[in-house]
Amino acid sequence: MGDAELVGTARTATLERREDRAEFVARVVAELQAAGIDYVLLHERAAERRADSDLDVAVARESVGRTRSLVRSGVFGRPIQAVDYDVPWCTWYVLEARERGRRHRQIDFACDPWGIGRYGPAVRLALAGAEDTEQGRLPEPAAEAAYLALKRAAKGIHHDTERTALAASVAADPDGLTALLERELGQPLDLRAPLSAASGEAERALARLRRRVIRRRLRPRVFSRLLVYRMLRLWRRVAQPTGLVVSLVGPDGAGKSTLADGLEEALATAFRRTARLHLGPGVLPSPGRLLGRTVAGTTTPHAREPSGRAVSLLRLAYLWLDCGLGWLPRVAVPKRRTALVLLERGWSDLLVDPRRYRLSLPPGLVRALGALLPRPDLVLVLVAPASEIHARKPELDEREIERQLDAWRTLAARDPERHAVLAATSGAETLESAVEVVHDHLARRLAARSPGRGR
């Protein structure tokens, strides 16, 4: 395929994605209007310049309850995530999408009637200055320019496209923008000249705008509200974290690393970030490194004989301490920050395959210590015929592979709510099954959390 064909294919794919987004936006608009919700779409005037990104919608305070009920009903797609901001009634939703080449859609619903957020009065101005268009309700040019200017003041200008979009928005109604900012912040601020001037002028003008917003947020009434909602958000992060810890288990050759790679990509748009761990959090050096020994390879995990009881007990205690100390910084904190934490193997691997770790201890002791550790939210058990797994990785004989498969199935049967057994015979099919299990878990969790708040 030549360069021209590649460019044409990329353009066609981009147009297809934008058409999909346009259909999604139209469906959201139709449902919002049918429900009588007071809303305004943000950024949509510049849709031709936008990537296939989140849909940002501002809603009035009196429409928040109906909006959340609408999301929970699933008319936009099955909701699987709801992440609250530190501003009241502002939530980022992730919806399951059944579209070509897309698994998720995201909607940011914003409602900040007091202007306590980073953008100051931007959301309120957008709602107050809304007009009906063929696309739905959009901010009037001055209100849209004010929203973009306040957003860029808070977040900065990082790309030329952001500067261009802001300049075009300001140019649509510069006098109206100046009047709005003067009314809200007490001083006139004309952004036309800075945006058209040499590099640095726009940044300095936006910095002045940011300082005015900060001074406004420091007023006692505004600051006290902001402090209350930040504390509430911190409590929710601890009590109801929006991340997910998924452990991938099974014999060597079952496809754990391949599935982890696939999940990291497939679920990237449902979380803020992804973390990958092996066995446990791993904040302490391995026992071998601690003793100054050369770390043995993992291609022959059963080549060395298990250690005696005393050494095995010390090794097990060390691994347990490592998992306990590392869980907070490497698992719990990312989970509270809406991360997907993929943990290959995990503590149960010591129970199923103790020889890999050269342990010669009663299984009950390993199980008892594991019960004192935090557990993953989901455990995906990969199974396949022992002959197939042996063909992929012949380091273990088929009898040992079959024993481990039986052990994993037994563990899964004891805790079916947390475990899911997946056939690991096809990479693509296994990934689709795993994604469906994760989606189901997220949807159930969301439905169980504070239904009155839509979380």
Q: Would the pLDDT of 52 be above 70? A: no
| Positive or negative torsion for Cα 417, 419, 425, 428 | positive
The model's pLDDT over 258-270, given as tens digits with 9 standing for 90+, comes to 999 999 999 999 9
Nearest CA among 351, 345, 386, 391 for reference residue 367: 351
CATH 3.30.70.20 is the classification of domain 244-453: no
Q: What percent of the chain has pLDDT over 70?
A: 89
pLDDT band at 176 (very low <50, low <70, confident <90, very high): very high
Checking if the pLDDT of 291 tops 90, the result is no
**Cβ neighbours of residue 163 under 8 Å, at least 6 residues apart?**
157, 195, 202
Query: What is the average pLDDT value for the chain, to the nearest integer?
Result: 87
Q: How confident is the model at residue 5 (pLDDT cuts 50, 70, 90)?
A: very low
What pLDDT, on the 0 to 100 scale, is given for residue 12?
Answer: 40
Query: pLDDT grade, residue 13 (50/70/90)?
Result: very low
Residue 47's pLDDT band, with cuts at 50, 70 and 90, is very low
Has residue 121 got a pLDDT over 90? Answer: yes
At 453, the pLDDT band (50, 70, 90 cuts) reads very low
Q: Report whether pLDDT(293) > 70.
A: no
| Average pLDDT value for residue range 281-306 | 69
The more confidently predicted of residues 191 and 2 is 191
Amino acid 415: pLDDT? 95
pLDDT: which is higher, 381 or 185: 381
> Does residue 189 have a pLDDT over 90?
no
The pLDDT of residue 42: 92
Q: What is the torsional sign of CA 150, 155, 158, 161?
A: negative
Cα separation, 128 vs 196, whole angstroms:
28
Question: CA quadruple 233, 234, 238, 242: dihedral positive or negative?
Answer: positive
Sign of the dihedral defined by the CA atoms of residues 286, 287, 288, 292, in that order? positive
Q: Would you say 254 and 384 are in contact if contact means Cβ atoms under 8 Å apart?
A: yes
Tell me, what's the pLDDT at 258? Answer: 94
According to the CATH classification, is domain 3-236 in 3.90.76.10?
no
pLDDT over 80 (residue 351): yes
Is the pLDDT at 10 greater than 50? The verdict is no
pLDDT at 160 over 60: yes
Q: Is residue 131 predicted with pLDDT exceeding 60?
A: yes
What's the pLDDT at 198? 64
Q: Taking the CB of residue 386, how many other CB atoms lie within 10 A of it?
A: 20
Extents of the domains making up the chain: 3-236, 244-453
Of the spans 289-303, 422-436, 441-455, which averages the highest pLDDT? 422-436
Kindly report the backbone phi and psi dihedral angles of residue 416, in degrees, each rounded to the nearest multiple of 5, phi listed first.
-65, -25
How far apart are the C-alpha atoms of 148 and 150, rounded to whole Å?
6
Q: Which of 136-150, 163-177, 237-251 has the lowest mean pLDDT?
A: 163-177
Q: What is the pLDDT of residue 287?
A: 65
Residue linked to tokens 């009920």 = 69
Q: Is the pLDDT of residue 1 over 60?
A: no
C-alpha torsion angle, residues 205, 206, 207, 210 (rounded to 10): 130
- pLDDT in the model for residue 51: 55
